[in-house]
A and B are shown apart, each in its own frame.
Chain A
Amino acid sequence: MSTSLRINPIACTGHGMCAELLPEVIELDRWGYPVVVSPAIPRSLLEYARRAARACPTLALLVEEKAGKHR
């Protein structure tokens, strides 16, 4: 099971709450829009990522679960 972060760029209005709540993974560019430094979320940050997604005022931050590959 791997989890990754994705931003809906149409919904995003550059509010910046995600960068406050998940600074390890999200930074803001010069216009205040989020840049996801690395889309894969380590398990230790998963709950923080979900909280950041819940907080997004426009619901633009998405935490997506993908089925893992079987070896």
Chain B
Amino acid sequence: MSLDLHGPGLWYATRATGLVALLLLTVSVLLGILTAGRFATENWPRFLSQGLHRNTSLLVLAFLILHVGTTVVDTYTTIPLVAAFVPFASDYKAAWLSLGAVALDLLLALVATSLVRRRLGHGTWRRVHWLAYACWPVAVAHGLGIGTDRGAAWVLVLSMACVLAVLGTAGWRVITAARPGPTQ
């Protein structure tokens, strides 16, 4: 079996891994909000939200490696590797692609600081981690704007669902934080 570097195969792979990465990123953001919001039930302890959040984030990175890899290798378009990290390093749909680069850069910052959290200290780590609220919408915008699947209804529905989930959970977080609890 030979790998067709010019045909649609890689293109499907790019779209698929991108979509999965976005879904997983959404899940990671949701879990992060639940962790910060100290969500817990009898069967769902707090460390579960945190543990899954960390693992999901790493999984997002794994899918992004595939997503970037398939994009670069695909000869149908000439997108250099550097465009995955540097905005406007490629002419192909420059603006929307750049959003992807920004999202990836932010994600790398989030993961890197989290890996060395103990050396950084909590204060610095926390300030950088707020960037998660920038990373996710930029990723969503990249996914919608890059246009290759905009026509497919199910992709739109999926994106909508992600947005609603994050907005809803963030709303829950804001409400519970405003309510004075025993540790206020």
Contacts and interface: CB of A to CB of B under 8 A. Distances in A.
Chain A directly contacts chain B within the complex, with at least one CB pair under 8 Å: yes
Interface of A: 11, 13-17, 20-21, 30-33, 54-55, 57-59
Interface of B: 35-36, 38, 40, 45-47, 50-51, 117-118, 121-122, 182-183
B161 to A, nearest CB: 28
Contacts of A57: 35-36, 50
A11 B122 CA distance: 9
Pairs of residues from A and B, 8 with the lowest C-beta to C-beta distance, nearest first:
A14-B183, A59-B122, A20-B45, A17-B46, A17-B47, A58-B122, A20-B47, A31-B182
B183 A31 contact: yes
A18 to B, nearest CB: 9
Contacts of A21: 47
Contact of A16 (B36, B38, B121): B38
Contacts of A31: 182-183
Contacts of B46: 15-17, 20
Nearest to B48: A20
B47 A59 contact: no
Contacts of B183: 13-14, 31-33
Contacts of A20: 45-47
